[in-house]
Amino acid sequence: MKKIIFIAVTVLISAILFTYSENQKLLSPKEISVSTFSIVGYDPQTGDLGVAVQSKFPNVRPIVPWAEAGVGAIATQSLANTSYGPKGLALMKNGATAEEALKILIANDSLRDERQVGIVDAKGNSATWTGKNCFDWAGGQAGKSIAGKGEIVTGKNFAAQGNIIVDIKTIAALSKTFESTRGPLSDRLLEALIAGGKAGGDKRGEQSAALLVVRKGAGYGGELDNFIDISVYDHLTPLAELKRLYEIHKLYFFKSNPNNLIVIDEKLCKELQTIMKDRGFYKGEINGKFDDFTKKTLKDFMYWENYDERVRDDNMIDKEVLIDLQKNYQVWKKNKK
């Protein structure tokens, strides 16, 4: 009897090990199971290209979203083939449209029916593909065209796709919100993603999210193209966290909106001098005169507080920066007591 049990256990363990081994072969470093929903987009006004994605999978950022300024943006998911990112961008950089690049990628992939991909190029052409074996519900939309499994559909300016999502309402919410939201591409992508989550999203729940937007020279200091690159690795509410981080990013990495600039008059100058003096930065009188010394001190203080992209050489200050300075000052005074 013991011998029979031993043999049975041995067979069971062997079967488990074999299955694990086969799965490891299937999930090569380029092929990772990422069941999720995403949207890729293009802004014809600014040339911005980007991807927003959420998944019940940790650290989705290095797997799904890919983008290059002036070239295109790609979301690769389901049984994600991460080589689709650099290969697809290279194809578009060499003149392929989003649809042409997508067709080439899946034509040379024996596991195309396990893949889901959304692509947009720098001319606004978009395309999406959902393989026949992607887990339900799975599908997508490019522009006005809705995609079922096993077909490529094309459109303009965006492609939305998802697998293991509750139903088609998620894709509809992604698409409708992207098209109806005003503002920069980053706002539209994020609001679309949040709407997709509210409409159902991944039926297994939430875990990670990412927002990637590129624009030539729009990164920190004007030397980089990664205008926005935010990742939520693992969180109970990653969409809410992504939005919180985005607001922080806008404050510290976006340049000032001219409509938000206000003149530093005598009253405001006294307030700024008081804040800086209490914080140990300003050594002069609190006289309301925005002279060269006060201006230089304010610039240094703003650099100290990390408002690098909003430091100015004139007699104005960004209203968003001012509000944040005032808020932080109140917190500093409370903690000092």
Write down the pLDDT at residue 223: 84
- Percent of the chain at pLDDT > 70 equals 90
- Alpha-carbon gap, residue 77 to 91, rounded angstroms: 19
Place of tokens 């509809």: 172
Q: What would the pLDDT profile of 171-226 be if each residue is shown by its tens digit?
A: 999 999 999 999 999 999 999 999 999 999 999 999 999 999 999 988 888 888 99
Q: For 150, which DSSP code?
A: T
With a CB cutoff of 8 Å and minimum separation 6, the contacts of 146 are 139, 140, 153, 168, 171
Domains defined for the chain, CATH in brackets: 34-253 (3.60.20.10), 258-336 (no CATH)
Q: How many CB atoms lie within 10 A of CB 137?
A: 19
With a CB cutoff of 8 Å and minimum separation 6, the contacts of 300 are 281
- pTM value is 0.86
Q: Could you give phi then psi for residue 81, rounded to 5 degrees? A: -100, 100
